[in-house]
Amino acid sequence: MIEIRIHGRGGQGNVVAAYLLATAAFEAGLYCQAFPAFGAERRGAPVVAFVRIGKQKILRRNEVKEPAFLIIQDPTLLHEKGLTTGLMKGGGILVNTKLTSGDISAAHGEEMIALPATGMAVEAVGRPVPNVALLSAFLSLTGIVPHTALRKALSGRFKGEVLDKNLNLVEMAAKAVDKGLWKEVAHAASA
């Protein structure tokens, strides 16, 4: 079972990102679980959501404390204390930022992969919502779920032009990172 923690701000589609990733896993024939860290936060406040993906039915209901991966939708959150706490040894961090992977890693003293997801979303969809681009890149990096499954998940949520634009965004973001870079980490985590 792979556990993922998604950090964002209220209004960025954090829960939607978690639900989309889990739905994609379901479309790929896996078991999944996605839930927000239940809070009473308003727009702009830091929020967290969790995803579990596994080959067997997932029984546990507790919060994800030791994720294999972190997806960070807003780089300003990196200044929050304890954001990467509990990350599995060798685990991956994917950050939505205009900086390069090298620069952002250097700035925070931790290995991170950068993706200009907001810019990509504005370009492809016309809205600054980074979640779909991040998920697409995440799937490229880990290979845990094929992109076709993410496309299916998206088609369950969007229709018509908006769907087409999002599918384009998936294509764009999938190519923007090193394919299979986190494959071994993912494999180790799911073992």
Contacting another protein (CB under 8 A), which of 2, 6, 18, 185? 18
26 binds another protein (CB under 8 A): yes
Interacting positions 95-154 with another protein (CB under 8 A): 153
List own/partner pairs for 88-91 with CB under 8 A and 24 or more apart. 88/185, 88/189, 90/185, 90/188, 91/67, 91/185, 91/189
- DSSP state letter for 157: H
Return the SS3 of 137. Answer: helix
Of 35 and 172, CB closest to another protein: 35
Q: What angle do CA 173, 108, 35 make, to 5 degrees?
A: 55
Question: Hey, what are 83's tokens?
Answer: 């954001």
Tokens 């209901």 sit on residue: 61
Of 27 and 74, CB closest to another protein: 27
191 binds another protein (CB under 8 A): no
- Residues 59-98, mask of contacts with another protein (x by CB under 8 A): xxxxx-x---------------------------------
Span of 23-31, 71-79, 96-104, 166-174 interacting with another protein by CB under 8 A: 23-31
CA distance 140 to 157: 21
Contacting another protein (CB under 8 A), which of 33, 84, 136, 140? 33
Strand segments, DSSP code E, in 10-112 are 31-36, 46-54, 69-72, 92-96
158 binds another protein (CB under 8 A): no
| Interface with another protein (CB under 8 A) | 18-19, 22-23, 25-27, 31-36, 38, 40, 58-63, 65, 153
